[in-house]
Structure 1
Amino acid sequence: MMEPVFHERQRLELCAVHALNNLLQKPEITQQRAEEICRGLSPNTMINPHRSLLGTGNYDVNVIMVALQTLDYAAVWWDKRKSLESLVLSEIFGFILNIPSPISLGFLSLPITRKHWITVRQINGVYYNLDSKLKAPAKLGGPTELKQFLQDCISRGSCEVLLVVRKDVEEARLWINAEERAS
C-alpha cells in the first residue's frame, strides 16, 4: 500500500516552512525553528532581514538553506540558462521554487504579486507540486512532466529554482550530468 502524500497547507506567511515540510514529507520545521535560524543569521539586530517585520514568516532563502544544512541537505541554485536535460534527477531529492504569487483579498485578485515558496518532489515514483496554497498535492507525472513544469515556471520569469540534494551529492556535483560537470 502506498503512503499518502504529506501536504501542509498555507498559514500566515509560512510558505518557506511549509515548503520544507512538504519536501521532507513530515512536520520537521516549525515556525519557532525558523525564527531561531533567523536570529542565528542576524544576531544583535533589531529588525531581522530574513523574515517579515511582523513576525508572521515570509522567510528568505537563507533560512531555507540553513534549515536544509542542519538536515544534511544542500540547496543548489539552478542556472536557468542551462537546459533542464542536464539534470540527473535520480540524484535530486526535490525542488524548492520561489515563484510570483498573486495577492487576493477574498475573491478579489489584486494586480500585484509577492514571492512564494513551493516544493516539487517525487513520491512513490510520481512528481507532485506540493504548493501549500493548493487544496491538495497536484500530480505532475514523470520526468518529462516535471521538466515541463519547471520550464513553464522559469519561462514566466521572476522564478528561482533550488535543487535540494544530499551534501555528498552537492560536493561531487552529481546532480548535473558528467558533460556539464567537466565544463
Structure 2
Amino acid sequence: MSDYEKAFREIITKAVCGKGKKFSQTAHSISPTHKPSSILGCWVINHKYKPHYKKDCVVVEGSYDINIWYSHSNNSKTEVVSETVHYRDEVTLSKKDKNVQSNNNDIACHPIQEPNSLEANVSPNGNKIVVQVEREFLVEVIGETKVKVQVDDDGFIFEDDDEWENELDEAFEDLDSDFLVDELEE
C-alpha cells in the first residue's frame, strides 16, 4: 500500500450533489361567464407540486387555482371565477457533482416564492381576464457521493490530560462559592 493510500480513505455518503433555482412569470387567460367590466381582486391558492429528476435538471410539475373577483353588466354585478391551471418548470442544475454514485437520487424542492398574482387585467377584446403569476423554486438533488478524508494512523492522543484538568481546578479556585448561596437566601 502506498503512502497516499495509507493517508486517505474514501467514504461513500449521502450529500447534496446538485442545486438549481428558477424564477418564472406566466400569463394565464381566464374565461369568465360574463363579459368583465373591471377586476376587483385576484388571488392564487391551493398550490400543489411534485418534482422529479431528469438528466441535468429537475422537472417541477404542479397546479394552482386562480380566483378572480370581477364586476360585469357595467359594474352593476359581481362574480368570482375560479380556474385551476397546470405548469411545468425545468430547473437546470447550476451546481452538479460529477461523482454521484447512482441515479436513485432524492429531490428536495422548496418554493422560494409561492405562486403569486402580480396583475390581472381585462383582455383587449374584453371577453377574458389575463393574469400574470410569478413563482420561484430552489431544488437540491441528494445522492450518494465519495468523500476523501485524511487518516491519522498514529491516532489522536492527549498526553496533557492531567495538565488540562489542573488548569480547570485553578480556574474554579477563584470562584466565590458563597455567591450563589447569598443570592438564594435573599
TM-score normalized with structure 2 length: 0.22
- Give the structure with the larger strand fraction: 2
- Give the structure with the larger helix fraction: 1
Of structures 1 and 2, the one scoring higher in RCO (CA 8 A, sep 6+) is 2
